[in-house]
Structure 1
Amino acid sequence: MQVFVGTFVHSTVDTPMVILKDSVLGVHNSKIKFLEKVEKLDQLREKYGFENSCITHMTQSQFMMPGMVDTHIHAPQFPHNGLKLDQKLSEWLMTYTLPLEQEYSNVKMARDVFTKVVNRLLRNGTTTASYYGSIHLGAVKVLADVAHAKGQRALVGKDNRLLSQEVGSEPGVQESLRDTEAFICYVNGIKSPLVQPILTPSWGLACSIDQLKGLGELAKKYNCPMQSHLHEIKGEATLRADNCHPNSHPNILEGFAISGLLGKKTIMAHCIWVDDDDLEQLRMNGVGVAHCPNSNLSLRSGFCDVRRYLEKGMKVGLGTDCSAGYSPSLLNAIRCAVHVSNTLSILRPNYQQLSVQECFRLATLGGAQVVSMEDRIGNFEVGKEFDSLLVDTEVPNTPLDVFDEDTAEEKIQRFLFNGDDRNIVRVFVAGRCVFNQDL
């Protein structure tokens, strides 16, 4: 058993941020067994029979928070992080991104890049990631292998797209579906409790309706979740004639719906320009929204009104959307989400902007809901798996300053706004320490 004593912060469905000072949490066989006040430590020691050597006492500068969930990230785009953000989305895709993704027919390149991806995300506190992989079967197998070997919780998808232009396209519908099913079987064969396949039609207009229907059949056969993009830019349907598949459904959401790809295990990224009818269809089907504020700002796509979705009772999480988003850190996503919401409050009188506490929930419990794992991860409820970060606000070379009079809440807020990976000293996934700054 592992036992931690100190300050814990997490979210519940009802409260965006709950701070538990002077508390004790116990982990056994990957799961949280108890979370009590520290006064019960001796009683818990007697009940569970753990030794003092099992106990980690946090300092006053430390706290624990749930691992963060990246609900939308493109692993093959990682080499372009912080680069090539001088154009709008459609030009950026065709000029920079799709040519880069074609290079992943080289499996060695895939292994080199994806190892960097998973390592970087883990040290930044991303314990769960929903990955867009590659159109290349060999490369996406490598991504699943790396996530499994590194101990990251991951949904991994083989991209599907049949663009009308040659760059970034699969050979055809049958080849696409064949390789997708082969990938599903490969990941299921790993028998990992942490890594699972996710169907990944890149976006609705990049796939033919036959392709979407074939993916819908695979979703039903293998009970797979699905992820895609939706209404990232204004007037998205007008792109159809230029660089989309000519046999895609003209109504993007309807194309997913008639293919059986809308449901509680569906993740739609961006959702900036969703009209009321489409929003209601998303809500009725229990679809989760991956809010990617950094990329929406970087490529000037627009401001996503997250409050609108939350008021409808919908699931919303955060995504880095690397490399359209330049930062692989969900701390950056939290900050950008606050900024986007603040901007909307400037533009709209009486708009209720998101608090940093609400954005903290989006990065943790909200993300867990979006990837349909809220029964397993997202906070420190007893019975859930222990995905956690040990944060220290006073590590050497810390990027933030704390002061003697700071409360626990103030230290947490300083970390959320000013901290970075240097403050994340340990990362746990399913009870296992997968990153330790001291090693």
Structure 2
Amino acid sequence: MHVGSQQNRTAVRNKVFLGLFVHSTALDELEYLHETAVFVDKSGTIVAVEKNCNEEKVRETVLARLGWEAADVEVVKARGGQFFFPGFIDTHIHAPQYPNVGIFGSSTLLDWLNTYTFPLEASFSDKAKARQVYTRVIRKTLSHGTTCAAYYATIDVPSTNLLADLCLVSGQRALIGRVCMDSDLSPDYYRDASPEASIAATKATIEHIRTIDPALSLIRPVITPRFAPSCTLPLLRQLGDLAKETALPIQTHISENKSEVALVRELFPPSLTGAADDSYAAVYDAVGLLTERTVLAHAVHLTEHEADLVAARKAKISHCPCSNSALTSGAAPVRRLLLDRGIACGLGTDVSGGYSASVLEAARQAALVSRHVAFGPGGEERDRLSVDEVLFLATRGGAEVVGLGDKVGGFEVGMEWDAQLVGLGAIGEDGEEQEWEGEDGGPGGNVDVFGWESWPERVAKWVYNGDDRNTVKVWVKGRLVHERK
């Protein structure tokens, strides 16, 4: 059940969350906070974390210290088999492409764009269709625990603005990008008329978002050149200027597959761009689009020099393992980018190149793809991502990628309560699902707990077997935005 309509009712009370909390404290470390209470004020900010705390201690000690009246406090308690986990961050998702999930066939990237993607996106000039799809993708991602999504929209301003409106009403944190593309490599029916028209349309969406969320506390505009080949050089340069002028985040694609990399070299030689070399990253750098606020999707085929440049500019990477596999793009060596270069990385579902809107699915695929990197040519054991590491990418890593590392991704005082309550199924001696001891029932789903597993083992089973049936409740900035009934 989606409960975005209830969020205003739940947003005005202080809240206490009791039970087990699991979150990343480092790339390779999950912390398990048993018998803990987290106190969230009316603004959605964590104001206290109390270990070894029960309801009695909450009532008798902590509420008085905080100056909270018990009647003004909502208590949410995790039951047996449940734990609180930070909300997932989807660092790369194409909202209008959601109807096409799973429909990638045997296409290459460029063929897939022309056959499936561009016709669908162009149809979003129909606002009713846009509302239908955008409403569904927001509800679907929330149901999978995605509290923040970096959305690509379309070139159409009204429907892009609608996506921002719907995210705000639903309570989902979002980056909203109107897609910029004026190159004649894009079809006549779906491209910007000129660089100037593209910039004007982008500014219109930026202004709309600033109107509906003046503090940009939940919704932020993001400058979005689709990818270098879809843009002319004048447009890329003007977008770089706009990014510098506004200090807004930037999102685009880079080095997704080898034919795309070759096309960039052909279209943007250094003699034309003034770049230091003919690499994909150098093109973005030459036009002012490679910055510490830039999110680069895929980065499968970066050269060593490009990786150094991305690290030097402090740009970020969205790893999209499902899409990279589905479109046969390749396997990105993410762990090396993280450890050898210190590049911040998060996970992207890349719907609809990716077949699922679930960041948990992206996490498990990231773990599996890293094993292919490890046993592939030049691979090493150190290329493997662990369960702890992919969950870091899904939360704290993603938060850093989208510029929210100081606000969400963990359970510390001062951070905002973007979280999900996860429930796992208990299996009785008869092999059937049963209620947890002393509890009144729990979720179904595909994760079976027999009772002898440690909590790290239970979390690992969730990563490899879990889905939206295990997502019991979801909050953004302290507001309940999804509840499974």
Counterpart in 2 of 1:179?
201
Select 1:295's aligned residue among 306, 314, 323. Answer: 323
Counterpart in 1 of 2:356?
327
1:117 and 2:137 correspond = yes
Counterpart in 2 of 1:37?
51
Tell me how far apart the structure 1 counterparts of residues 69 and 35 of structure 2 sit (CA, whole Å).
19
Calculate the TM-score normalised by the size of structure 2: 0.86
Counterpart in 2 of 1:339?
368
Select 1:387's aligned residue among 411, 415, 418. Answer: 418
Instruction: Tell whether the 8 Å contact from 2:177 to 2:221 is kept in structure 1 after alignment.
Output: yes
Cα RMSD (Å): 2.0
Shift of 1:111: 1.0
Tell me how far apart the structure 2 counterparts of residues 181 and 255 of structure 1 sit (CA, whole Å).
23
Tell me how far apart the structure 1 counterparts of residues 63 and 165 of structure 2 sit (CA, whole Å).
38
Select 1:94's aligned residue among 114, 117, 131. Answer: 114
Select 2:406's aligned residue among 371, 375, 396. Answer: 375
Counterpart in 2 of 1:232?
256
Tell me how far apart the structure 2 counterparts of residues 293 and 367 of structure 1 sit (CA, whole Å).
14
Instruction: Tell whether the 8 Å contact from 2:63 to 2:69 is kept in structure 1 after alignment.
Output: yes
Tell me how far apart the structure 1 counterparts of residues 474 and 382 of structure 2 sit (CA, whole Å).
37
Shift of 1:22: 1.2
Shift of 1:422: 1.0
Deviates most, 31-40 or 316-325: 31-40
Per-residue displacement from partner, 1:331-389 (whole Å, max 9, x unpaired)? Answer: 10011000001111222244441101100000000000000100111111110100000
Tell me how far apart the structure 1 counterparts of residues 338 and 380 of structure 2 sit (CA, whole Å).
19
Counterpart in 1 of 2:461?
414
Instruction: Tell whether the 8 Å contact from 1:207 to 1:248 is kept in structure 2 after alignment.
Output: no
Shift of 1:98: 1.3
Per-residue displacement from partner, 1:9-38 (whole Å, max 9, x unpaired)? Answer: 001246531111111111002000111213
Counterpart in 1 of 2:80?
60
The gaps in structure 2 that reach 5 residues or longer are 1-13, 426-441
Counterpart in 2 of 1:10?
23
Instruction: Tell whether the 8 Å contact from 2:315 to 2:343 is kept in structure 1 after alignment.
Output: yes
Tell me how far apart the structure 2 counterparts of residues 289 and 56 of structure 1 sit (CA, whole Å).
35
SS at match of 1:314: coil
From the superposition, tell whether residues 334 and 50 of structure 1 become closer, same or farther in structure 2 (CA, over 3 Å): farther
Q: What is the one-letter code of the residue matched to 2:338? A: L
Shift of 1:406: 2.3
The gaps in structure 1 that reach 5 residues or longer are none
Q: What is the one-letter code of the residue matched to 1:35? A: V
Q: What is the one-letter code of the residue matched to 1:186? A: H
From the superposition, tell whether residues 251 and 330 of structure 1 become closer, same or farther in structure 2 (CA, over 3 Å): same
Instruction: Tell whether the 8 Å contact from 1:212 to 1:255 is kept in structure 2 after alignment.
Output: no
1:130 and 2:150 correspond = yes
Counterpart in 2 of 1:75?
95
Bigger radius of gyration: 2
Tell me how far apart the structure 1 counterparts of residues 25 and 249 of structure 2 sit (CA, whole Å).
24
Tell me how far apart the structure 1 counterparts of residues 118 and 139 of structure 2 sit (CA, whole Å).
24
Counterpart in 2 of 1:362?
393
Tell me how far apart the structure 1 counterparts of residues 382 and 79 of structure 2 sit (CA, whole Å).
40
Shift of 1:54: 2.7
Instruction: Tell whether the 8 Å contact from 1:6 to 1:58 is kept in structure 2 after alignment.
Output: yes
Tell me how far apart the structure 2 counterparts of residues 248 and 98 of structure 1 sit (CA, whole Å).
28
Counterpart in 2 of 1:315?
344
From the superposition, tell whether residues 343 and 118 of structure 1 become closer, same or farther in structure 2 (CA, over 3 Å): same
Tell me how far apart the structure 2 counterparts of residues 248 and 233 of structure 1 sit (CA, whole Å).
23
Q: What is the one-letter code of the residue matched to 2:201? A: D
Identity %: 36
Shift of 1:219: 1.3
Calculate the TM-score normalised by the size of structure 1: 0.95
Counterpart in 1 of 2:471?
424
Aligned residues: 437
Deviates most, 383-392 or 228-237: 228-237
Instruction: Tell whether the 8 Å contact from 2:257 to 2:329 is kept in structure 1 after alignment.
Output: yes
1:220 and 2:240 correspond = no
